[in-house]
Homo-oligomer: A and B are copies of this chain.
Amino acid sequence: MKVVVLAGGVGGAKLADGVARILPPEDVTIIVNTGDDFEHLGLTICPDLDTVMYRLAGVANDETGWGRAGETWRTIGEVGILGGPDWFKLGDLDLAMHLTRTHLLRTGESLTAVTQHLCQKLGIQVSVLPMSNQPAPTQIQSGDIIYPFQTWFVQEKWQPPVTKVLLPEDVRATRSVIRAFETADLILIAPSNPFVSIDPILDVYPITALMEDLPKAVIAVSPIVGGEAVKGPAAKMMQELGLQPTSRAVAEYYDERIDGFVYDVQDAGSCDDLEMETHCLDTMMFTEEDRIQLAQGIVQFAEELMQ
Contact A83 B100 (CB under 8 A): yes
Contact (Cβ within 8 A) A93 B106: no
Interface residues of A in 65-124 (CB under 8 A from B): 72, 74-79, 81-85, 92-93, 95-100, 102-104, 106, 117-118, 121-122
- The answer to whether A242 has its CB under 8 Å from any CB of chain B is no
A106 to B39, CA, bound (A): 10
Q: How many copies does the complex hold?
A: 2
Q: Is A41 an interface residue (CB 8 A)?
A: yes
Pairwise interchain contact A96-B121, C-beta atoms closer than 8 A:
no
Is A44 on the interface with B (CB-CB < 8 A)? yes
In the complex, chain B residues whose CB is within 8 Å of the CB of A74? 72, 74, 92-93
Q: Of the candidates B40, B43, B84, B100, which one forms a contact with A82 in the assembled complex, judged by CB atoms under 8 Å apart?
A: B100
20 contacts between A and B (CB under 8 A): A40-B103, A41-B103, A42-B103, A43-B99, A74-B74, A74-B93, A75-B75, A75-B99, A76-B96, A79-B99, A81-B96, A81-B121, A82-B96, A82-B122, A83-B100, A83-B117, A83-B121, A84-B99, A84-B104, A92-B92
A-B residue pairs, 4 tightest by C-beta: A84-B100, A78-B96, A42-B102, A74-B92
Q: A43-B43, A82-B100, A92-B92 are in contact. List 10 more A-B contacts (CB 8 A).
A: A41-B102, A42-B103, A43-B99, A75-B92, A75-B95, A81-B121, A82-B97, A83-B117, A83-B118, A83-B121
